[in-house]
Amino acid sequence: MKSASNIIAVIGLMDGAIFGMLGTIVNQPNLRASFWALDAVGLIVAAAILSLKFFRKERDIVAAGFLVFAIGEAVMLSGTAGSLEQSVPAFAAGTALWSAGLLLASVPREFAAWVRMAGMVAAVLFAITSARIFHGEPILPISSPLPFFAYPVLVLTFAGWIWTLLRAT
């Protein structure tokens, strides 16, 4: 039987994947903000649970990765209710923390190689996005090619985490 915490984490990751992508493709600002708020809450809950799970397994680096990812998501949530332009500072800070969290969770050999690779690629793409914003480029959370094409790689990472949790006994 799957543990309740694994199921809650899976639901949070699925929520984050679905509502995050929906928020990226809708044009209505209120709907986008609502989708991204649902996405953020699901991912914060999932990442907090995963942080505790890996901390208990004494996989401190992976646990720290999920904790940093949750903090990054919470920072992003703080800018969600504003316009795309108003959300950019929180988005830049959040993507920087996402990048660090993804690297911490992906470099140790805790997940399958493809999951770790997806996490590392997403980390690099979000680090580039964050650095460009901090450098002064006018990049919105829906700008293309980055960060727009980084989101599917992040969702692939979530799929790998979900796959890992569902395979666990």
Render pLDDT for 18-47 as a digit per residue (tens, 0 to 9).
999 999 999 999 999 999 999 999 999 999
- Is the per-residue pLDDT at 53 higher than 90? yes
> What is the pLDDT at residue 169?
61
Provide the phi-psi class of 69: left if phi over 0, else alpha when psi is between -120 and 50, else beta.
alpha
- Per-domain boundaries in the chain: 4-167
Confidence of residue 1 (pLDDT cuts 50, 70, 90): very low
- Is the per-residue pLDDT at 13 higher than 50? yes
The DSSP 8-state label assigned to residue 15 in this structure reads H
- The string of DSSP letters for 39-52 reads HHHHHHHHHHHHHH
> What is the pLDDT at residue 168?
85
Render pLDDT for 140-160 as a digit per residue (tens, 0 to 9).
999 999 999 999 999 999 999
Render pLDDT for 83-132 as a digit per residue (tens, 0 to 9).
999 999 999 999 999 999 999 999 999 999 999 999 999 999 999 999 99
Token pair belonging to 96? 């920087």
> What is the pLDDT at residue 58?
97
